[in-house]
Amino acid sequence: MTTDPKLKEIIAAQEEIFVRRQPRSKHLAEQAKNHLTGGVTSSWQITAPQPVWLSHGRGSKVWDVDGNEYVDLHGGYGAALAGHAHPAIAKAITSQAGLGTHFAQPTPDAIAVAEELASRFGLPKWRFANSGTEATMDAVHLMRSITGRDLIIKIEGCYHGHHDSVQVSVAPDPDAAGPRNKPNSAPASTGIPRAITDLTLIATFNDLESVARLLDEHNDQVAGMIIEPVMMNAGIIKPRPGYLEALKALLHEHHALLTFDEVKTGLTVGPGGVTQKENVQPDLITLAKSLGGGVAVAAIGGTADVMDHVATGGYEMVGTFNGNPLAMAATRAMLTEVATPEAYEKIEKLRQRAAGGIQKAIQDNGLTAHVVTAGAKGCVVFSAEPVENYRGFLGVDDRYSHAHWLYQHNGGVFLPPWGKIEQWLISVQHDEADIDRLVENFAVFARAVSREAASREAARTDATRTGD
Ligand SMILES: Cc1ncc(COP(=O)(O)O)c(C=O)c1O
């Protein structure tokens, strides 16, 4: 990955510190390989230089099995808006555990959760599932079932989970991505039949024309479109003003439906997601991640028209664990006691503190980077220009993201791995001291890599002078 010798040295030195601090993690990683496939429980946990094994979390912190403490801004890939062991979540789970954890019959908490989601997101009807993947799978099925059409449109660079229809052009290599103005439907994984990927047409984020062209080329064949209304699997890419509203109008003109996948953005950018912030209501919304306060749960919301199709048996939305009582109890506590207006106010102050501090360090050290934030989520993008779509994201330098991740980790701040793709998550339990640690570590990293950049620049100037 790294070609620059100095940056390569910086990364190697940080990786050495990383491994030295975590001998027990190293041992567990080896032992796990015997019976745990690949030595982890999800392939995204395989990170360089080695997976980090955790023992516990409390408040804004987590501890690894070697006893190192971290300010946790990884947040379980965006699922820990509540922080860890939040008393309200712990109480809800404990009380429900004593009353039974599974019936496959509805419990009253499901009504309270559906009511709260309807009021936050403005869509009247809700159902539940267990993961973001299930929720977006149901949304795609539903759009097809209602319209009787097979094709869907998806944005290049959006991730919607690991079911076949959306495992298309998630992070395609430049040579697989196809022409900029006519992106390929590139399978994102092995095991996805071509017959399925061909049913997913690929458009470009922030480019209405790319959607209009597909709708015209496939007249009366497109069931709908699924989109992360703020892209969050390519750093953070925001919609241009008016883009989402125009998208909805365009799709409706063609009698096609619009799904906002708010699995990541849902509760994190604000109480009612991008939907509420941008004041654009799609036909369907999918939620998961932070919804259950750290318990596996997902939700699908829709307009009365769309969800009536389910209510009247037009599409069977099913699942043994849908609306599981433990998940509903945790979700109810999350919505009513944790993700409160006061919590969002506090997060907004911390957002400003993080963004301001890091942006200052970028400027002080002359880094080619900028900060992008959206509510509790934020990231550093290592490019000079703002990124508007996946093709722009391809130009972001991931060597710096990895080096930054290592500096934070060794300095006691756990950011999500895959730093170019992922974002930090500020939880309701973080405080100013936590954010200051993030900013201080960033400044240390910025000074180190700017020295490296300066010495590279000096070498270039010398070479020019001597005519090398
Ligand atoms: C936007 C989005 N949708 C769907 C998913 C899939 O969610 P899950 O991993 O819970 O299946 C993810 C996961 O990262 C996501 O970011």
Q: Is 266 in the pocket of ligand 1 (CB under 6 A)?
A: no
Q: Is 273 in the pocket of ligand 1 (CB under 6 A)?
A: no
Do residues 290 and 258 make contact, with C-beta atoms less than 8 angstroms apart? no
| Non-local CB neighbours of 123 within 8 Å, separated by 6+ positions | 117, 275, 281, 284, 285, 301, 302, 303
Name the phi and psi angles at 129, rounded to 5.
Answer: -145, -165
Residue nearest to ligand 1 atom 14, measured at CA: 161
Do residues 117 and 287 make contact, with C-beta atoms less than 8 angstroms apart? yes
Mutating to test ligand 1, I would choose from 43, 128, 130, 133 the residue with most ligand atoms within 8 A of its C-beta, which is 133
Name the phi and psi angles at 236, rounded to 5.
Answer: -130, 120
Distances from the Cα of 44 to the Cα of 35, 51, 313, angstroms: 18, 10, 37
Beta strands in 20-109 (DSSP E): 54-58, 61-64, 69-72
Looking from the CA of residue 289, the nearest atom of ligand 1 is 10
Q: Is 167 in the pocket of ligand 1 (CB under 6 A)?
A: no
Looking from the CA of residue 265, the nearest atom of ligand 1 is 1
Distance CA 71, CA 440 (A): 13
One-letter-per-residue 3-state SS of 427-440 = CCCCCHHHHHHHHH
Report the amino acid identity of residue 389.
N
Task: Extract the tokens encoding 128.
Answer: 């539940």
Q: Is 161 in the pocket of ligand 1 (CB under 6 A)?
A: yes
Active site residues: 159, 261, 289
* Rounded-to-10 torsion of CA 266, 59, 347, 290: 0
Give the distance (Å) from ligand 1 centre to CA of residue 70. 24
Give the distance (Å) from ligand 1 centre to CA of residue 263. 6
Distance CA 411, CA 467 (A): 42
Pick from 128, 132, 134: nearest CA to 322: 128
- Do strands 370-374 and 151-155 pair parallel, antiparallel, or not at all (unpaired)? unpaired
Looking from the CA of residue 161, the nearest atom of ligand 1 is 6
Task: Extract the tokens encoding 1.
Answer: 């990955």
Give the distance (Å) from ligand 1 centre to CA of residue 427. 19
Q: Is 136 in the pocket of ligand 1 (CB under 6 A)?
A: yes
| Non-local CB neighbours of 175 within 8 Å, separated by 6+ positions | none
Mutating to test ligand 1, I would choose from 289, 321, 379, 423 the residue with most ligand atoms within 8 A of its C-beta, which is 289
Looking from the CA of residue 296, the nearest atom of ligand 1 is 10
Buried b (16+ CB within 10 A) or exposed e, 111-134: ebbbebbeebbbbebbbbbbbbbb
Give the distance (Å) from ligand 1 centre to CA of residue 458. 44
Looking from the CA of residue 77, the nearest atom of ligand 1 is 14
Distance CA 200, CA 202 (A): 7
Query: DSSP for 159-216?
Result: ---SSGGG-BSSS--HHHH--TTS----BSSTT--HHHHTTEEEE-TT-HHHHHHHHH
Pick from 217, 250, 243, 216: nearest CA to 228: 243
Q: Which pLDDT tens digits describe the chain residue by residue (468 residues)?
A: 334 668 999 999 999 999 999 999 999 999 999 999 999 999 989 888 999 999 999 999 999 999 999 999 999 999 999 999 999 999 999 999 999 999 999 999 999 999 999 999 999 999 999 999 999 999 999 999 999 999 999 999 999 999 999 999 999 999 999 999 999 999 999 999 999 999 999 999 999 999 999 999 999 999 999 999 999 999 999 999 999 999 999 999 999 999 999 999 999 999 999 999 999 999 999 999 999 999 999 999 999 999 999 999 999 999 999 999 999 999 999 999 999 999 999 999 999 999 999 999 999 999 999 999 999 999 999 999 999 999 999 999 899 999 999 999 999 999 999 889 999 999 999 999 999 999 999 999 999 999 766 766 676 677 666 655
Pick from 422, 442, 141: nearest CA to 300: 141
pTM to 2 decimal places? 0.95
Mutating to test ligand 1, I would choose from 227, 263, 267 the residue with most ligand atoms within 8 A of its C-beta, which is 263
